[in-house]
Structure 1
């Protein structure tokens, strides 16, 4: 436990993901990326199994469900299905910063009736109804692909 949440530098080539402006990152004891240095300074993308970090998610997701979130001048609202899925297996560690940074990217075509936004740093995919701007699904990296 002594190394948990210790800031260490890892070359981007060793992470298995592409990091823009890779600097120091924080990894959980499970090897998941928690915080990025340089460009992503102060952002938490993954709770890494940390109960205290996980506890901060619900209020943020409640706010996204009730009030939505504005990203680059676009308003997005989390729907009930996507909200409920955030507390189930495979998504319990996805943090709001991960979703917001995905939504800051250019949308890509997805299944009919939706577009997808992908956070290139984590691979998290956010599915959005392009008409209503409703977030209809969130997949961790590699899920369903």
Structure 2
């Protein structure tokens, strides 16, 4: 079953059980997926759906930060619930040691020795780590390894 099919099935289940929070969050996700499909005139595969979910998660995390700074904990809690629902569709996250091993492998594969080679390393890692690691954190780890 593809990720889009799973999302549709979860939507139906949420409607049957009357779980309005999950239903509404899944509707937002489906709308974002459909919007991207219409804009680009393509049918999204699982990797592209994960990219949509990642974008939505990032937006929600940014909103949580802003709401908490403004002392709007009620709105922050709503966003946190949406993050929990959306996170269920993400692939299993990699451990720090697995990420470190992939970074080391990519650096040796590209013979990266300076910061100018960072793009080559990221190009190799991005498909392997999509949805499974925070790319900002990965970027910082690569910088540390290349600069030392």
Q: What is the TM-score when the length of structure 1 is the normalising length?
A: 0.24
Does 1 or 2 have the higher relative contact order (CA < 8 Å, sep 6+)? 2
- Higher helix residue share: 2
Q: When you count strand as a share of all residues, which structure comes out higher?
A: 1
Compare CA radii of gyration and give the structure with the larger one.
2
Per the normalisation by structure 2, the TM-score is 0.24
